[in-house]
Amino acid sequence: MKPISRVVQSTPPSGIRRFFDIVSQMDDVISLGVGEPDFATPWRAREACIYSLERGQTHYTSNYGMLELRQAISAYLRRQEGLEYNPENQILITVGVSEGMDLAMRAILNPGDEVIVPEPSFVAYKPCVSFAGGVPVVIPSYMDTGFTVTPEQVEAAVTDKTKAILISYPCNPTGAVASKDTLQRIVDIACKYDLYIISDEIYDRLTYEGKHVCIPTLTGAYERTILLNGFSKTYAMTGWRIGYAAGLPEIIEAMMKVHQYTMMCAPVMAQVAALEAIRNGESDSNEMIEQYNQRRRVIVKGLNDAGLKCLMPGGAFYAFPSIKETGLSSDEFSERLLFEEKVAVVPGGAFGECGEGHIRCSYATSMDKINLAVERIARFVSRL
């Protein structure tokens, strides 16, 4: 048989996968490796979905998604960020932000176009660019800048082939948030070189100190930004796969075209649940955020006390401590921690080369488990 696609073949499988295979064969593991909320979806959203199924609401929706849901998102963005997006043609309901990211890349890229991708970052970004025929250009960030890239790095990475820059704060895996000033200067560079900005703001509400900076609110950003967000983290709805994209009508229409021919529409029952969540889920959501915030302080103190230098993350639900002083690679550290103390974390190298020397610890797990895990990590580190 002829070989499969060169692009797909040359894309390595997610570094997380190998770990998952090991962990799933072990018992009694405390996992700090999970990239999703430990809370189940608020009951009101689940109940709304059940009711819609009972009524037989089981058909296709508009390619853009249910108008009611787009209207609710439009109202939410106006209320939360003061942004105006017309629900008729500026908002597209996607199958999670993952699909939104894919659509954004396929809508704007020509073969060979470059996309600037800061790292450490979500594992899917680079493959998304490559699958769409683009070339990811990585700019690294490290602990000394709080894991945010600098405007100087961004500008230095711009070439005549650069088409877009990807921004994602709060960041998975580092929990980093960038200052308004830094983000504005990055936006200025995008304006200077006429670049698209793709902003993945899935963790926007999980910002613990100060207010989240929504990229399209910055000067000059609205026209060139594709805002990606969704329901997975804010409303603990990961498995429902509902996200959305917001931007100028011509960009959203282009994304809709790809979506129309590949996905048709996001699942209707999940859209119904998302509608209930965005309409009435505010207090459920705030309750979860308050708990993440408490766990954040506990895990960061615990990791630092254990001898792993860890910054206080400003958002998301990840701590990203350094393990450099142990002399182990992030793979070795994670593997030995798993076998010797039954605690699962994700090696930082899975999120880009510059993530090496760190591990990602998710605190989307109960306080009891966090305390126990931290205790085991401390024991492990003291033995090294």
Encoded tokens for 32: 């700090």
Binding of other proteins by 289 (CB under 8 A): no
Q: Residue 338: what residue type?
A: L
Number of residues that bind other proteins (CB under 8 A): 28
Binding of other proteins by 285 (CB under 8 A): no
Helices (H), the chain: 6-10, 15-23, 43-54, 67-81, 96-108, 125-131, 151-157, 180-192, 249-262, 268-280, 282-305, 330-341, 367-383
Distance, in Å, from the CA atom of 75 to the CA atom of 141, rounded to the nearest integer, reads 35
- Stretch 13-72 residues interacting with other proteins (CB under 8 A): 14, 16, 19-20, 23-24, 29, 31, 33-36, 38, 40
Three-state DSSP at 150 gives coil
Which residues partner with 198 through β-bridges? 166, 226
Could you tell me which residues come within 8 angstroms of residue 331 by beta carbon, excluding any fewer than 6 positions away? 347, 349
Q: Which residue of 295, 355, 359, 363 would you call a contact of other proteins, by CB under 8 A? A: 295
Element (H, E) at 165: strand 162-167
Q: Which residue of 75, 137, 138, 298 would you call a contact of other proteins, by CB under 8 A? A: 298
- Stretch 182-241 residues interacting with other proteins (CB under 8 A): none
- Binding track, positions 155-174, relative to other proteins; x by CB under 8 A: -----------------x--
Q: State the nearest-atom distance from the C-beta of 194 to other proteins, in Å.
A: 32
The per-residue DSSP string of 317-338 comes to TEE--B-GGGT--HHHHHHHHH
Is 172 or 225 the residue whose CB approaches other proteins more closely? 172
Q: State the nearest-atom distance from the C-beta of 91 to other proteins, in Å.
A: 25
Q: State the nearest-atom distance from the C-beta of 321 to other proteins, in Å.
A: 16
- Stretch 260-279 residues interacting with other proteins (CB under 8 A): none
Binding of other proteins by 124 (CB under 8 A): yes
How many CB atoms neighbour CB 210 within 10 A?
11
Q: State the nearest-atom distance from the C-beta of 240 to other proteins, in Å.
A: 14
Binding of other proteins by 372 (CB under 8 A): no
Distance, in Å, from the CA atom of 11 to the CA atom of 116, rounded to the nearest integer, reads 18
**Site residues (CB under 8 A) for other proteins?**
14, 16, 19-20, 23-24, 29, 31, 33-36, 38, 40, 122-124, 172, 290, 294-295, 297-298, 301, 344, 346, 365, 367
